Amino acid sequence: QQQVKQSPQSLIVQKGGISIINCAYENTAFDYFPWYQQFPGKGPALLIAIRPDVSEKKEGRFTISFNKSAKQFSLHIMDSQPGDSATYFCAAPLFNKFYFGSGTKLNVKP
């Protein structure tokens, strides 16, 4: 059973546009929701994370929106840039085991 479901699988956005990636989870025991960014040939790196006691967290152009009742959280990339082109993974840990979404490949067109 997939603990964290991510969509879409791929996304094409024009430069300056907003990129939105969604994740849904079932296990209400999750209490930490990070997003990881992975460039080709590299390992994933933490981008931004949120705890469920807040509904939104913003860091620069990146925002996580969290909906506890719907058990969903999403990543918004404002003013998307070609340099944001990468694969993005949502995740949630439980007892030290991090469950990752299937990934979203973002392509920002210049």
Residues that bind other proteins (CB under 8 A): 6, 31-32, 34, 36, 41-46, 49, 89, 93-103, 105
Using DSSP's 3-state secondary structure scheme, residue 83 falls into: helix
**Separation of alpha carbons 38 and 2, rounded Å:** 21
Q: Which is nearer to other proteins, 84 or 89 (CB)?
A: 89
CB of 79 to other proteins, least distance (A): 26
| Nearer residue to other proteins within complex by CB, 2 or 14 | 2
SS3 assignment, position 39: coil
**For residue 87, which phi and psi values (nearest 5 degrees)?**
-105, 135
As measured in angstroms, the least distance from the Cβ of 51 to other proteins is: 8
- Going by their DSSP bridges, the two strands 19-25 and 4-7 should be labelled as antiparallel
Phi, then psi, of 105 in degrees rounded to 5: -90, 115
Minimum gap (Å) between residue 66 Cβ and other proteins: 15
Nearer to other proteins, 37 or 63 (CB): 37
